[in-house]
Structure 1
């Protein structure tokens, strides 16, 4: 859904909407699973959202000609992520994280192959491209480290902490992107520093017990 949305919506807008995951985690946890959050955690979520928004708005360019109806796919995806976090905590607390991750990816194998079969990937033109094997290798590396291993660690984090704290990783994504930008020679300004502090403070408050 994120990839589909980004065909029409700027990635900065998508990043901001992705920050709805912790908020949706609180709402779904309360409404469906009766998992309560403290006022401190709610305040931390709000602080983190403000910080993430500041970071992204500081670097994004607004494009009024974009189809913002596609942003609805991102909002729907955040609801699904929030539901997943609560389900893992509420129903799969005693299941090994690697088993949960394995089940996730086994379930999407057939749909993924079906989608791939309609994407013109299995054509002669695709494999005549000089960069195809390098691209497949990069996807494989991302799949292993950026998805599989990250999913196992994320599942472990959910079981060791709370759904709200685990989902607050959504606020750290813009911060990590900022750090990569610094390594690439981008300028770190006062606004970015303030936004980063808000994010870190928000994550700290979310992890407080009371």
Structure 2
């Protein structure tokens, strides 16, 4: 399989894995708090990665550790909690559509921070994407009045962090192995995650008396093993063999997967919301089109 075929293979597999992550977060929140879910997700993933890749840590140059730490915080640590809190109020399908802002933000921050040139068409695509976001959030408030769509801001903030992380990997960690980057990320964030879990009342009697706890832990375990550990390594590889914008375009297909899961789970998605989602994807398409 040549490099061009390989990048499409990774893109499709990641879309299926990450597209299923939103419904797994939703199910995990039935028996866990957002802090508990986010912390458990990081701890389980970190344990898996360190188990198989601990020896890779010694290959990381001292000069690279700064970027490994920043990448771990922006690419995994904070988004794990932001999405958990967001999905307490926002449907998983809507969360996945908003997540498609990642490629647009990748272009914005690639230009603003990393001095990666952009075109007029890409700028136009970014503007269209944010118009779609406004439509999606505004229509969501009327369709689901019981949900607090201000929590959508958590998802938008997470997409900004993802976008910065993609550019960091491409610019500063290009020569590192994908597994090495992932193991380095989690070696840094696993301890803070465990501290958060300790202070989240996870080990209290009330938590273990929750009838939904163990089922939620299974959902988080699946999310951690495939949606974070395996996908993290694959995504790092995808960034290295393609471009930041192509890699972040995984949000195209994963949106279809996630919305399908949401509808199967009984979530509401109105016509205006669908239009808003299409506008976002149109913006992403214009920004990525050669």
Q: TM-score band, normalised by the shorter chain? A: 0.7 to 0.9
Structure 1, unaligned runs of 5 or more? none
Number of the residue aligned with 1:168: 249
Matches within 5 A, 1:198-209: 209=290
CA RMSD in angstroms comes to 3.9
Q: Is the 8 A contact 1:16 1:56 kept in 2?
A: no
Structure 2, unaligned runs of 5 or more? 1-81
> Which of 99, 107, 127 does residue 208 from structure 2 map onto?
127
Q: What CA distance in whole angstroms lies between the structure 2 residues aligned with 1:3 and 1:193?
A: 23
Matches within 5 A, 1:76-95: 76-95=157-176
User: What is the Cα deviation at residue 24 of structure 1?
Assistant: 1.3
Number of the residue aligned with 1:98: 179
Check if 1:63 corresponds to 2:145: yes
Q: Is the 8 A contact 1:97 1:155 kept in 2?
A: yes
Q: Which moved more, 1:30-39 or 1:159-168?
A: 30-39
Check if 1:74 corresponds to 2:166: no
Tell me the matched-pair count.
207
Q: Secondary structure at the match of 1:122?
A: coil
User: Please, what TM-score do these two structures have when normalized by structure 2?
Assistant: 0.55
User: What is the Cα deviation at residue 94 of structure 1?
Assistant: 0.9
Deviations 1:28-82 (A, max 9, x none): 10111111245565666677778899999999934277362x4433332221111
Deviations 1:135-166 (A, max 9, x none): 32332221011111111111111111111121
**Greater fraction of residues in helix:** 2
Deviations 1:97-147 (A, max 9, x none): 111111222221122112111221102233344553343233222101111
Q: What CA distance in whole angstroms lies between the structure 2 residues aligned with 1:23 and 1:199?
A: 9
Q: Secondary structure at the match of 1:10?
A: coil
Check if 1:113 corresponds to 2:194: yes
User: Please, what TM-score do these two structures have when normalized by structure 1?
Assistant: 0.73
